[in-house]
Amino acid sequence: MRTVDLSQTSLRELNAELHRLQRTTNETHWRIVNPRGQHAIGVGIDAPIVVEIEGHVGYYCAGMNKEATIVLNGNAGPGVAENMMSGRVHVKGDASQGAGATGCGGLLIVDGNASARCGISMKGIDIVVKGSVGHLSAFMAQAGNLVVLGDAGDALGDSIYEACLFVQGNVASLGADCVEKPLEGRHKIDLARLLEAAGLNGTVDPASFRRYGSARKLYHFHIDNLGSY
């Protein structure tokens, strides 16, 4: 395992080294210590490696990740795993706003809470938040799944497209064009898969969630929907 001390090594050196890794690299396990809240740690990785970060990070940790498994033993600043393409990012603490923003694939797990706009404009990423999410989460969410074991703040799923939202706790309010939908068998299967991937296999009942998605009334401009715009 390779250990990088960010109090000794610059962020630029670290990211450049991570970018040089090929898919066939033998350096498959990295440990980063003393992140000290720095921004953009581990962004743009494109290799099937494991990166463990010991401490809190600033903005955009694991941004645009491909293939890598990134475990954060701390809290994450805004935009953790933004635009992730594939791989897995696991925040053991809390995440600030915009967690998983515009993510296209992969799995983001937040053990604690995620702040406002979690999953904003998500495009295929799966997000499992074991705590609660803040307001305007899944705003304009296009594709993928957002699973929340706690509560959701105001305007959940505002202007949502085809993403699926599952909330076990209370939803303060739904945003424009977001409605509750029946939780059917296939949704429970999807949920069980996501919960298992998040390490919650058998501990949480998929049937205890409520499902939300698009009413599809704002997909076309129409005068009757004026009040919703």
Stretch of residues binding other proteins (CB under 8 A), selected from 48-56, 147-155, 159-167, 183-191: 159-167
What span, in angstroms and rounded, lies between the C-alpha atoms of 147 and 154?
16
- Between 30 and 60, name the residue whose CB sits nearer to other proteins: 60
Q: How far is the CB of 110 from other proteins (least distance, A)?
A: 16
Residue type, 87: G
Q: How far is the CB of 17 from other proteins (least distance, A)?
A: 10
Among 59, 166, 209, 212, interactor with other proteins by CB under 8 A: 59
Taking CA 36 as the corner, what is the angle to CA 57 and CA 73, rounded to the nearest 5 degrees?
50
Q: Is 63 in the site for other proteins (CB under 8 A)?
A: yes
Entry field: residues in the chain: 229
Q: Is 1 in the site for other proteins (CB under 8 A)?
A: no
What span, in angstroms and rounded, lies between the C-alpha atoms of 160 and 139?
6
- Between 63 and 157, name the residue whose CB sits nearer to other proteins: 63
Question: Of 43, 139, 25, which Cα lies nearest the Cα of 84?
Answer: 43
Taking CA 51 as the corner, what is the angle to CA 139 and CA 59, rounded to the nearest 5 degrees?
40
x/- letters, 197..226, toward other proteins (CB under 8 A)? ----------------------xxx-x--x
Half-sphere exposure of 176 (CA within 13 A, CB side): 10
32 and 14 Cβ atoms separated by less than 8 Å: yes
Question: Of 213, 207, 116, 124, which Cα lies nearest the Cα of 160?
Answer: 213
Q: Is 175 in the site for other proteins (CB under 8 A)?
A: no
Q: Is 30 in the site for other proteins (CB under 8 A)?
A: no
What span, in angstroms and rounded, lies between the C-alpha atoms of 59 and 110?
15
Q: Is 153 in the site for other proteins (CB under 8 A)?
A: no
What span, in angstroms and rounded, lies between the C-alpha atoms of 181 and 210?
8
What span, in angstroms and rounded, lies between the C-alpha atoms of 101 and 83?
6
- Between 135 and 209, name the residue whose CB sits nearer to other proteins: 135
- Between 208 and 222, name the residue whose CB sits nearer to other proteins: 222
Q: How far is the CB of 200 from other proteins (least distance, A)?
A: 27
Stretch of residues binding other proteins (CB under 8 A), selected from 53-61, 165-173, 174-182, 201-209: 53-61
163 and 144 Cβ atoms separated by less than 8 Å: yes
Binding residues (CB under 8 A) for other proteins: these are 11-12, 15-16, 19, 39-40, 43-44, 46, 58-60, 63-64, 66, 78-79, 82-83, 85, 98, 101-102, 104, 117, 120-121, 123-124, 139-140, 142-143, 159, 161-162, 219-221, 223, 226
